[in-house]
A and B are shown apart, each in its own frame.
Chain A
């Protein structure tokens, strides 16, 4: 975990700089002719949705590594990625709802992407609860890693089933509104790209912070367990 200590400060500074540049571009960006200023919501919503999925990918890779090589570090990173992914998923859902109110007229529509995101949030929550409801931490870590991999395989199936379901059922007006409004191009693109990059850095930084916290907690738990049962 020494590497986390080393990269944390530069990563944090880089994140702050890129977020500031992104914010400046958002401030300068022209309003979209179709959705006006509401496009500024997408500058948060779209990168956040990307991070919600990217965190899961990261989590799956860490889980595979943990099961295969049994590195405790991989498990700590997986636990950290779960918390970070859940935070981004929650932000995606909240910003999607706030965007939907002026654009669709409702806070929530059972649109394919929002529905998959909601399911993703429940899966993240399930992973967190599973880990802490087993008494043996090694068993908890292994069960969580297996569930994370299963969820990783299931996510594409969930996504496609929801897409099929919604495209066969959706009222055409909603589909049209959705297609016209999520499309971003031209001068609106630079802030989106910069903020996407900044969010990736932010996600990595959050993983390092959370991972160090988890590592400290585990060390403390181990010390306390040793103090309680000195003979073992």
Chain B
């Protein structure tokens, strides 16, 4: 069983990096855009 540990670990790390990474990146990008929007057009909802 221990033979597989590096492979299993790699997959879980990768899952976290790909899925978590994109989610966080999109979220950060949205926040930045939203700030710009608020600055440009403070009246909008």
Helix, strand, loop or mixed for chain A's interface?
helix
Residue interface mask B1-41, A partner, CB < 8 A = 1: 11111011011101100110011001101100110110011
Assign chain B's interface to a size class. 20 to 34
Q: How many A-B residue pairs have CB under 8 A?
A: 85
A91-B18, A91-B19, A95-B11 known; A217+B33 contact, CB < 8 A: yes
Residues on the B chain within 8 Å of A217, using CB = 33
Interface residue A124 (Cβ < 8 Å from any Cβ of B):
no
Interface centre among A83, A90, A98 (most CB of B within 10 A): A98
Residues on the B chain within 8 Å of A36, using CB = 1, 3-4
Q: Looking at the complex, which one of B7, B15, B34 makes contact with A102 (CB distance below 8 Å)?
A: B7
- Docked Cα-Cα span, A209 to B23, in Å, equals 7
Cβ contact within 8 Å between A98 and B10? yes
Residue interface mask A42-85, B partner, CB < 8 A = 1: 00110010000000000000000000000000000000000110
Cβ contact within 8 Å between B4 and A37? yes
Cβ contact within 8 Å between A38 and B7? yes
Cβ contact within 8 Å between A213 and B15? no
A37-B5, A213-B33 known; A45+B11 contact, CB < 8 A: yes
Residues on the A chain within 8 Å of B18, using CB = 87, 90-91, 94
Cβ contact within 8 Å between A220 and B27? no
Q: Looking at the complex, which one of A84, A91, A101, A209 makes contact with B7 (CB distance below 8 Å)?
A: A101
Cβ contact within 8 Å between B7 and A41? yes
Min C-beta distance of A192 to chain B, whole Å: 14
Q: Of all chain A residues, which has the CB nearest B24? A: A209
Q: Looking at the complex, which one of B14, B19, B30 makes contact with A206 (CB distance below 8 Å)?
A: B19
- List 20 A–B pairs whose Cβ atoms lie within 8 Å, in order of A's numbering: A37-B4, A37-B8, A38-B4, A40-B12, A41-B7, A83-B22, A87-B19, A90-B18, A94-B11, A98-B11, A101-B7, A102-B4, A202-B19, A206-B26, A209-B23, A213-B29, A213-B33, A216-B37, A219-B44, A223-B41
List B residues at the A interface (Cβ < 8 Å). 1-5, 7-8, 10-12, 14-15, 18-19, 22-23, 26-27, 29-30, 33-34, 36-37, 40-41, 44
List A residues at the B interface (Cβ < 8 Å). 31, 36-38, 40-41, 44-45, 48, 83-84, 87-88, 90-91, 94-95, 98-99, 101-102, 202, 205-206, 209-210, 212-213, 216-217, 219-220, 223
